[in-house]
Structure 1
Amino acid sequence: MVFSFMATISNWTDAVWPLGMLLPPVAFGMLWYGLWLLRSFQPQERIWQEALGEVKLLGLFNLGLSPFLHWHHRAPDELGFANAVWLLALVFVFYLMSLNKMLSRLAAMLPDETLRVESKLFSRMNCVLLAVASIGFGVKFGVMCLISFNIEPPELLLQLAATAASQPWLLMGFVLAFMLIPLSMTMSLLWKTKESILASVFRSPH
């Protein structure tokens, strides 16, 4: 996902326009396919299947909105494309929150006690940070929608948006604290869960 996003906003995608347009959907499609492969794991566990279904549903929203990353890069002044990109950012935050909840449910069914404790702790931490991120992205998306419909946003929201635009380091700090840190911890939990599953399969007594 990081690779496809960087490729989408880079200038060299203009020279390979079809590939640049396809990179984000391919990346999000691979994420959704990985979740789809989990459908047959513990189908009798209702709570686990509900958590998995929620992540898959949000993954479909990400997949549908992902082409707007490239289209917004090619037409940055188009408000419709900008609104779709901010909506994608907001949905992706909820996707990460649901993914953390799903990983916690998955760890609860595995024999690794350490993984269960870590998943429970870090999933809660990630959800708190991502909840703050969802507020920020939600405010930005709301302002963009009001502007696109020629509705004057509240003065406070306009001041916040102007401050973020005039001081990019604030936006970068916000993204680092409330997006990149939860994303890195989520990837770490995914890796540890994969290692625990492999260990339980290949080291189990026969």
Structure 2
Amino acid sequence: MNADLLPSLRHLVRGLTTVFWGLPSTLLICVLMAVAEFPRALGCAPPIITTGLLLFGVCELARFQPQEREWQRALERAQLLALVNVGLAPFVYFWSRQPTEAYYFQIVIVLAFTGLLFLYLLNHVLQRLAAMLPDETLRADTVFFTRLNLTLMVTGVVFVVGYYLLAELKSLPQAVIEALDLAQVARIRFALVVVLVLLPVSMTMSLVWKTRDVVLGSVFGPRS
């Protein structure tokens, strides 16, 4: 192992670890802000901190292989979305305090879409990183799961947009009306959230951790 490469590998591992913990923390805090009172006592700080963790993690990743153009371009796009998410994060708190304010709600919807876009770009970053690492299994897994994540996220966006567009129409076939009513059921909504949101997040976390293990294994050797 080249000694000059060790500092950049340290930043890479730190960035992957930060992103791994930042993903569920951001999702959890944003949900708790909407449904629970105790995080609101801290004001805007919780969502800013968690989205800031993701920004910090991606910036740490950028300190690895700065000469690789495709890798750095993928990171720059992810950094931009992470910065946008940090800027929009306070509106989660504002909306939780004034849920009837249409402007705050619209900003939260924008944050949800930019969050999904960041997740997609993060998958692309992981794919570029796997291409630089000497592990064929990781490379194949990353390609497969990034495509699966993209499919799930696009399906989720299409479903949500289609639901609200159909709900605005006055005359609909009875079958469509029944389907819209079914989507109102709490259990159905929960299942959709699990499949279309939690599943891509969890698979991305798995890829991040596996990539981290591969990097550590290249430095210290495989775990016994």
TM-score normalized with structure 1 length = 0.82
Counterpart pick for 1:11 among 20, 31, 37:
37
Contact 2:130 2:211 in 1 (8 A): yes
CA distance in structure 1 between the partners assigned to 2:75 and 2:182 by the alignment: 35
C-alpha RMSD of matched pairs (Å): 2.7
Identity %: 37
Query: Counterpart of 2:143?
Result: 120
Give runs of aligned pairs for residues 1-206 of structure 1, distance below 5 A: 1-9=26-34, 10-14=36-40, 16=41, 19-138=42-161, 153-155=168-170, 163=181, 166-203=184-221
What's the CA shift for 1:49? 1.1
Contact 1:51 1:102 in 2 (8 A): yes
5+ long unaligned stretches in structure 2: 1-25
What's the CA shift for 1:27? 0.2
Deviation string 1:34-81 (CA, Å, 9 cap, x unpaired) is 101122211222211111111111111111111111111111100111
Contact 2:85 2:114 in 1 (8 A): yes
CA distance in structure 1 between the partners assigned to 2:161 and 2:73 by the alignment: 25
Contact 2:39 2:46 in 1 (8 A): no
Amino acid at match of 1:92: G
What's the CA shift for 1:138? 4.6
CA distance in structure 2 between the partners assigned to 1:7 and 1:117 by the alignment: 36
Q: Secondary structure at 1:55's aligned position in 2?
A: helix
Structure of higher RCO (CA pairs closer than 8 Å, 6+ residues apart)? 2
TM-score normalized with structure 2 length = 0.76
> Residues 64 and 163 (structure 1 numbering): CA distance in 2 closer, same or farther, change over 3 Å?
farther
What's the CA shift for 1:167? 2.6
5+ long unaligned stretches in structure 1: 144-152
> Residues 155 and 187 (structure 1 numbering): CA distance in 2 closer, same or farther, change over 3 Å?
farther
